Amino acid sequence: MDRRIFVGLGVAAVVGASALLHQTAFAVGATAEPGAMAPDFTAMGIDGKTYKLSDFRGKTVVLEWTNHDCPFVRKHYESGNMQSLQKEATGAGVVWLTISSSAQGDQGHVTPASAKELTVKRNAAPSAFLLDPKGEIGRTYNAKVTPHMYVVDKTGMLAYAGAIDDKPTANKADVPTARNYVRDALGAVAAGKAPANASTRAYGCTIKYSS
């Protein structure tokens, strides 16, 4: 083989390898942006099973960040709003993943046993409750508060990210008159449309991430 061709092929291989490494790094370090593919993740559920987001490709998925001690989360659970939305969504074939990213020793942290007890006590109905004590999933999704809500469509694209509704208070009396952004997003996705509000400002308690 001509030495110039050989050198050229070598350079191309190095460039190609560098590009591949760059793409891989980008995929691993990707953050969640509405309109882009939702970053994949793997997490342990309180049932002892391992869950991977990409395993649900072909189904709409809701991600709900929670902290049971947060007044804003309590607003939606004590009013029955969150449970109602969970049951409505899962009844329509949506996968609902509740996630706790609170670090051990901080507010909102749960063990598998306490999370199971909490789920029963709240009469919650998620498809699975996932534990993220190191905050890796939460940071990837830039989840800032609880509740912080996300909707991933059947293709794996992040269709919505933000608040559960348009009433940023801890008052249960505001629930009946609020516009529920998650319900709106699920309706749009089911109809094959983009949500009217793909991104809103989430409100709630700051997630207590590990340092």
pLDDT tens per residue, range 84-131? 999 999 999 999 999 999 998 888 899 999 999 999 999 999 999 999
148 burial type by CB count under 10 A (0-12 exposed, 13-18 middle, 19+ buried): buried
| Rounded-to-integer distance, Cα 166 and Cα 174, Å | 10
Both 90 and 134 in one domain: the answer is yes
Please, are residues 60 and 155 in contact by the beta-carbon 8 Å criterion?
Answer: no
Both 25 and 36 in one domain: the answer is no
Name the domain count of the chain.
2
- Examine residue 211 and state whether it is found in any structural domain, yes or no: no
Both 108 and 137 in one domain: the answer is yes
Q: Domain residues for 21?
A: 1-30
Binned at pLDDT 50, 70 and 90, residue 13 comes out as very low
The pair of structure tokens assigned to 15 is 């460039």
Whole-number pLDDT of residue 30: 54
pTM of this structure: 0.85
Which ranges constitute the DSSP H helices of the chain?
Answer: 3-28, 71-78, 81-91, 112-122, 136-140, 181-190
| Rounded-to-integer distance, Cα 181 and Cα 188, Å | 10
Both 106 and 118 in one domain: the answer is yes
